[in-house]
Each structure stands twice: as structure tokens, then as C-alpha cells.
Structure 1
Amino acid sequence: MLLRGVRVSGLIELERVWKKFRYGEGHGRLRDAIPALVRRALRRPDPDAGLHRGEFWALQDLSFTVRPGQALGLIGPNGAGKSTALKLLCGIMRPTAGRCTVRGRVGALIEVAAGFHPDLTGRENIYLQGTIMGMPRREITGKFDEIVDFSGLAPFLETPVKRYSSGMHARLGFAIAAHLEPEVLLIDEVLAVGDAAFQEKAFGRITELVQQDIPVVVVSHQLDAITTLCTRALLLDQGQVALAGTPQECITAYLHGVTAAHGPGSGDSPVRILGIHLGRAAVESGQRLGVELTGVTDGGPAADRLSVRVRVRLAQTGETVFETGTTQLGLALPGAGEFALQLELQMNVARGIYLVESAVWDRLHGRQLLRGPSSYVEVRGGPPFEGLVQMHPRARLLSGSSTAGHVP
């Protein structure tokens, strides 16, 4: 039992945790659903850790411990299991097998607007969240002004949060989680929706909490944030630990990692992409990035209708920022045998992690035939701007009415 007013030494621990999901929603058969409900009610792990039809592993034998004064960063591609691990620690889910231990009052920010009542005002939601965290009203009141000041949302306190933007949700959610005396802090990717100034302030607050011996787990595609905030890191891939080490060690492995090709009937495609190589693991915004795809074609008539494509996505959201291919570039694939497609991309984009994908495209039917291998690149620095694409503006500020209407 936790005593009010007494700070508990926080601890975060996963011990050989497995978590499986079923493709689609719900349980497909009653004979599966009833045992699952009984296990959940009794809080027992599934005695049979094997997979049944339509199921997949989101986490496989995952273990880690975060002690007071430590900050663990979880990185990896989308679908690696990072957010699933945090939801287990928050108690939103229970593991299929293994044990999750979280000791202390939890401050969590795992989804934009998670835990907020949309019809309540910002003020009311501060008290609601504090109550959920187990704090008496007088303690919440004692922290109220600090929360509001940190969030910068004083003018909007009496506005229902359903009218808040995603950035405002993130501001309020983080301010609550980080100031209501958490003994454990869990942060997912949601801070990425805030502006740069608030992110910097939030990172400073997380550092303060670590220095106050609060164990912290951070999930982020912002690798510079992982380097700044975390004392160690885990690189996850397909629900498993690919590497445990320092943030820089895991980031280097992540950026140099290459995902495998896959797709329906990929082994039978007339054109296959065998490999992808990026000239650098990291570039400055505006620099050129060399990309080389290697592949093989059977030279048959079916290959004539196929093209090889390169797509660049923002890893955090999956949003496509650029795509081109042999057809758009006016290039024809050679006859039977191996080939290499070399191109340079000028990375006039915002800083962040980008996924460079390859694919074989069927021009006749207007669809992707198979997805080839892909790799990651980090874009750093560059002049500050909002949005994804750097347009290199040239600007001047004129005074006087005589200048109006004259566009250079």
C-alpha cells in the first residue's frame, strides 16, 4: 500500500514478457474468448504461449529493468512493440506471459488526449487526471498553478479539451504527468506533436526528474531526444530486443539496419530487389543522399510492365514525402540478369528519421507488386522551419505604403 505524502522509490521491470494479438478485432471463436476472459479475470498469463490461427506476437520474451535515476529509450521501426510495452507498464493491457512490475505513482503520456474527458475543460481534466493518479484534491490544487504555467494554456483552461489541438493536448498531458509528483514516468511519441520550444522545455523537465531519481521510459523516433534524455537504450525489432546498450550504440545499429523484402509471391516476381544501400546513415538537411538498389530481372515480357520505385517516408507518421521510380526517371530495366539503380536525393526536409523504401510496381494494373528492402536515414540540423519540406525562402521586409503590391 502507498502512503500519502511518502515518496516511494520507483521501479520499472518487465520479466520475460510475451504479448500476442489476433489479426482484426476481438476473438474469432467463443471457445477462444471464454478462456481468455477467465485468464484476464484471474490475472494469470496464458498457460499456452503458442500461437493459434490468426494470431501474432507483438512482444517476444522482452525483459528490462529501469531503476531510480535511470532513463531507458525504446527505439525501432513501426510495429516493433515499443508502444505495446508502455501500455503493459501502464496497465492498459496485460501480458500473455511474463510479469510487469511498476512500483510507485505513474505519470504516463502514451497517446494524445488519452485519459482526458473531451467534454470537460482543461481545468477539470487536471483534477480528473490527478484523481486517477491517486492524489487528494488539496495536493492537486497545490500543483495547479505550476501545471498551468508549464503548459502555457492559461487562456484556454475553461475551454473543453475536445476543442484543443493535438499540440495543446500534448502540452497539458505532459504538464500533468510531469508535475503531479510521479514516481515513475512513461512517455510515448506524443511529444513530437508539440512545437520545438515546448519540446525543449519538456526535455528539460524529464532530465530534472531523472536527476531526482525517477525511473523513466521514453519511446521516440526523435533519436536526438533519446541521446539527450536517456542513460541507456533498447533497439526493438518484431517484438524482440535486437540490441541493448548505450543510446548511441542502439541508434547506430538502428540507422544501419535494413529490413527484409516481402510481399505476396515476391519469389515469383519477374523483377526482384535484392538489396538497398544508403551512402550515409545521417545527413544534414539540404545535403544529398546516395541510394543504390540492386536487383535481378528475368528479362521476360512480364518484366516490361514493371518499374522499380524508391519511396521516402517520415518514420514517425508513415507519411510519404517523396516517391520516384524508373518510369518517372525515364529509365528502362535491362534484359535478363542483375541490375543496379543508383540515384541521389537532395534531402530538403525537416530533421527526423526517414524510411527509404524500395518496391516493384506493376504499371499495367496500377499497383505495388512487392515491397523490397528498406533502410533508415537521420536528417539533422539545417535552418529552423515548420512543416516537412524546406523551400529555402528568400525574404525582405519593406516599410512604407508605396511598396505594397510589388512582388519581386
Structure 2
Amino acid sequence: MEKDIILKAENISKQYRLGQVGTGTLSHDLNRWWYQIRGKENPYLKIGDINDRSTKGTSDYVWALQDINFEVERGEVLGIIGKNGAGKSTLLKILSKVTAPTTGSIKSRGRIASLLEVGTGFNGEMTGRENIFLNGAILGMTKKEITSKLDEIIEFSGCERYVDTPVKRYSSGMTVRLAFAVAAFLEPEVLVIDEVLAVGDAEFQKKAIGKMQDISRGEGRTVLFVSHNMAAVKSLCTRGIVLEHGKVVFEGGIEDCINQYFNDLMQLTQRKWNPEASPQTDFLRLLEAKVLNENDELTLNHLISNSIILEFTYEIIKEERLFTHGFNLYNSQNIHILSSHDKDSQTLKSSLKKGIYKKRIVLPGNLLAEGNYSCSFAIMTYNPFFVEFHEIDIVGFNIIDEVGQHTARGNYSGNFPGVVRPILKWK
């Protein structure tokens, strides 16, 4: 069966010049022009660093994207995931034709509607109703087509009361609601959505994801979706690509993409901080975090039936403060699995002297399902309750499932859903 390709990216690259000048200088533009009229390649395409914000570069040029190739079929929902700075938003801007690629080309069939930032394409002085017609016109729709969808757009956005009020008086959440409703209901062939849904409340996010599912599965239209909410990506997308430093490092099924993303993201079994750079408050600073097995060995991969030890080392730098410890655990979809407060700690009853201290938590075996996990650590005071600091994603670990009678799986080797995997007693 022949593929129905609606969007194709071929060798897409985007280069930026660093510094205040931005895109280049007159001398560079003349140099490019001189090479071009002689039929030679742009000399600045041969230089430039990869897009890694954490390192000091050696070139004034940086590749935000480099050699991106992929195809999207009609009715497909493509998830684009990666760390901050990986090039996701730049790619969406190129696909939406907000900016042009340095090299390569985009081939598309039909209208592309984009929702890249809060209030994209909205005029703050115009009312919500006027902006609906403005956005529709930008998409190439007639006034009659827009009018036929107007009531649905206003109802879905939940902004009926304010639809004749200038958009500049809307909250960011209201603006996103209206912008999404316009993009979704004006029937583009391709809907491009960046992380803007994070601004909306839980109710609207649920409605928006439901609408995107209707668009792709019910109406056969295509969605490109960028989000750090892996639960939303997993529930919505059928396929994904993982970007890192402006390059595609993985492409495939969405579950495989999410696993690849989290495997590359961190999974540090040990983290140490210098005293000056450590997470700290005025009386305490965190020095080290570890993930250990039952033999006190640093371990990344743990069998599902084995206990896991999390050890936090901190320094008291000021005495006479009462406090306690907190811990949070997240899975690979960034779902908050559990929280634990050290509510009976001696540190709530008497202050510690200056020095180095350790605190341990034991996660019992047969508690969590297989997968990737990350941990956070917090220091809190009570009466009144106050979080002194909360450091997320400090260490992580993987749980590997087993087949056997000592696990909840038993001898079954197929897919086993759920975020926890305790062995329950059946009577």
C-alpha cells in the first residue's frame, strides 16, 4: 500500500550566528554573495558548533538543527521530544514557515496551522472574535467558512463572556484556549503544536488532547506535537522522533522514543556537588546523592524483587534550626509516583551540630513496575510548613522485571501495565 505523505522534511538545517548581531554581518553577507555568483557553496556552512548550551563554543556560528529528515503520513500524530535546547521549537517554526531553513526543504500538502507560543498571531488590540477571523484569514479560509465554525470555536475555548473584549486583557490561559480552538476547528490538514498547552489548566489540557485525538483518528488530519509531558505524548502520539543537540538521534514507535529520551536524559546513580554550587538553604547544603543496591553498591539497573537504597549526604552549616527531609519519585512519563516526608525525624525535635550527615530511604522490592525512575530531595521546616529547597532529577535508576513465582508477574511474560507492581495476597 502506497504511503500518503502529507509532510516531508529533507536535509533540514538551521544555522544562527551568536552575539548581538544575530544573523550575520555585511562582510559575511558579501562573502556569501561572492561565493554564490561563482557557483560555490556558502563558506559558513562548513563551520559552526553543535547546539550544546552547556559548553563554551569555539565558533561564532551554531547549528540549531542539522540534517533533519523525516516523513509524516496523513492522520499520523508525530511526537517531537528532547531536552530544552534540542531544537524542537526551531524545527516547528521551520515546518510552520515562520522561519526559513539554512539548507534543505519542506514539502507539504494543504494548510498548516501552528500554535507555537501563547498568543501566536493574535493582535492584542482586537477582540477575541476579531482575532478568530484574522487567524482564519491567515490560514486561507473564507469568511463564510470561519463563520460556520465560529460558535464551536467560542464554546470550546470557554471564553464566551470575553469574546468581544480585547485580547490584551486575557490571561495567558484564556489566550491559549482561544488560540488552540482557532487552530483546531479551522480544519487545517496539518496542526503544529508546541509546549503551549502547559499553560492551560488540567480541564483544558484534557479537552485539548481529546480534540487532537478526534482530529487525527476521526478526521484523518495530521498533528505534530511537542511536549515535556510524556503521559500526554504517549496517549496522543503514534510515532516519535528524539532530538538532541539539533540532530535526530532516534525515530520509531512512541514508547521506544520515550524510553530512549529518558535513557539519554540522565540516569545518574551518583551525583556530587561542590559546596558553592550545591542545593542549599541558609543552614544546610546537599553534598551527594546515591542509588545503592542491597549490598551498598552503586547500581543503575535493579531487579524488580530487590530493594533499592537512596542515600543523601548533607552538611549542617548553621545550628539551632529544626527541619525535616522529603523525597519524591517520578517515572519515565514524569508521573509523580509517590512522596515521603520524614515526619518522625529527630531533626524536628532537636537541632544538629555543624557537620556531615547522611539520610537513607529504602524502597522495598516488588513495589514499582519495570521502567525508568528519577528522584528528588527536599528540605522542609514545619510550623509553618515551608520548603527550603527541592532539587529534582538528582539521581535515577531502572527497574528490570523478571519472570518467576517470586514476582507479581509470575510466569506470564507478556505486557504488564501499571505504575506499581506489588505482590498482593489473594484469598
Q: For residue 108 of structure 2, what is the aligned residue in structure 1?
A: 102
Give the fraction of aligned pairs with identical amino acids, expressed as a percent: 38
Query: Matched residue of 2:45: which SS?
Result: coil
Q: Structure 1 residue aligned with 2:169, among 141, 163, 169?
A: 163
The answer to whether the 8 A contact 1:45-1:95 is kept is: no
Displacement of 1:85: 0.7
Distance of 2:29 and 2:223 partners within structure 1: 36
Counterpart check, 1:15 vs 2:10? yes
Counterpart AA for 2:263: H
Q: Specify the alignment match of 1:179 in structure 2.
A: 185
Residue of structure 2 in register with 1:242 after alignment: 249
Amino acid of the residue matched to residue 14 of structure 1? A
Contact kept in structure 1, 2:86 and 2:244, CA below 8 Å: yes
Residue 50 of structure 2 is aligned to residue 50 of structure 1: no
Separation in structure 2 between the aligned mates of residue 79 and residue 34 of structure 1, nearest angstrom: 27
Q: 1:195 aligns with which of 190, 197, 201?
A: 201
Please state whether the residue corresponding to 1:158 is helix, strand or coil.
coil
CA drift of 1:69 comes to: 1.3
Question: CA, structure 1 residues 23+133, in 2 after alignment: closer, same or farther (shift >3 Å)?
Answer: same
SS in 2 for 1:104: coil
Match of 2:227 in 1: 220
User: For residues 56 and 175 of structure 1, do their structure 2 counterparts lie closer, same or farther at Cα, with a shift above 3 Å needed?
Assistant: same
How far is the alpha carbon of 1:149 from its aligned partner?
1.1
* CA distance in 1 between partners of 2:43 and 2:149 (Å): 42
Deviation at 1:53, TM superposition (A): 2.5
Structure 2: how far apart are the matches of 1:28 and 1:70?
A: 35
Determine the C-alpha separation between the residues in 2 that align with 1:45 and 1:199.
44
Matched, 1:210 2:207: no
Aligned to 1:324: none
Corresponding position of 1:144: 150
Map of 1:394 onto structure 2: none
Shift of 1:153: 0.8
**Corresponding residue of 1:302:** none
**Which residue, 67, 85, 88 being the options, matches 1:82?**
88
- Matched residue type, 2:177: R
Q: Relative contact order (C-alpha < 8 Å, sep 6+): which is higher?
A: 1
Q: TM-score, with normalisation over the residues of structure 2?
A: 0.60
How far did 1:26 drift? Answer: 3.1
**Aligned 8 A contact 1:18 1:98 in 2:** yes
**Cα 1:196–1:258 shift into 2, 3 Å:** closer
Alpha-carbon displacement from aligned partner over 1:64-111 (angstroms, at most 9, x marks no partner): 111101111011111111111101101111112222223211111110
CA 247–293 in structure 1, closer or farther in 2 if over 3 Å, else same: farther
Deviations, residues 121-167 of structure 1 (Å, cap 9, x unaligned) = 10110000001001111111111111111111110011111111111
Report which stretch shifted further, 166-175 or 54-63: 54-63
8 Å contact kept, 2:267–2:396: no
**Within 5 A, what are the aligned runs for 1:3-402?**
11-27=6-22, 30-31=25-26, 34=29, 48-51=45-48, 53-211=59-217, 212-259=219-266, 291=310
Partners of 2:28 and 2:69 lie apart in 1 by 28
CA distance in 2, matches of 1:341, 1:23: 45
- Partners of 2:108 and 2:63 lie apart in 1 by 23
Instruction: State the one-letter code of the partner of 1:50.
Output: I
State the distance in 2 between where 1:79 and 1:57 align.
11
Give the count of matched residue pairs.
Answer: 314
Q: Closer, same or farther in 2 for the Cα pair 1:45/1:186, shift >3 Å?
A: farther
Residues 27 and 171 of structure 1: CA distance in aligned 2, closer, same or farther (over 3 Å): closer
Q: 1:241 to 1:10 in 2, by over 3 A?
A: closer
Q: Offset of 1:30 from its aligned partner?
A: 2.5
On the 8 A contact 2:289/2:310 being kept in 1, the answer is no
Structure exhibiting the larger radius of gyration computed from Cα positions: 2
Q: CA deviation at 1:31?
A: 3.7
Structure-1 separation of matches of 2:115 and 2:208: 12
Query: CA 1:26–1:242 in 2, change beyond 3 Å: closer, same or farther?
Result: same
Cα distance in structure 2, aligned partners of 1:248 and 1:50: 36
**Cα distance change, pair 119–34 in 1 and its aligned pair in 2 (3 A):** same
Question: Secondary structure of the equivalent of 1:48?
Answer: helix
Map Cα deviations across residues 357-383 of structure 1 (whole Å, 9 max, x no partner).
99xxxxxxxxxxxxx987699xx999x
Is contact 2:32–2:42 with CA below 8 Å preserved after alignment? no
Give the Cα separation in 1 of the matches to 2:5 and 2:120: 23
Question: What residue ranges of structure 2 are gaps of 5+ in the alignment?
Answer: 49-57, 279-286, 294-298, 301-307, 318-325, 335-350, 364-371, 378-392, 399-417, 421-427
Q: Secondary structure at the match of 1:80?
A: coil
Partners of 2:153 and 2:182 within 8 A in 1? yes
1:253 Cα shift?
A: 2.2
Q: Tell me how far apart the structure 2 counterparts of residues 374 and 113 of structure 1 sit (CA, whole Å).
A: 37
Distance 2:362 2:148 in 1: 57
Q: Kindly provide the amino acid, as one letter, of the partner of residue 24 in structure 1.
A: G
- Could you say if the C-alpha distance between residues 292 and 354 of structure 1 is closer, same or farther in structure 2, counting changes exceeding 3 Å? same
- Matched letter for residue 228 of structure 2: H
- For 2:239, give the aligned amino acid: R
Q: Is the 8 A contact 1:167 1:193 kept in 2?
A: yes
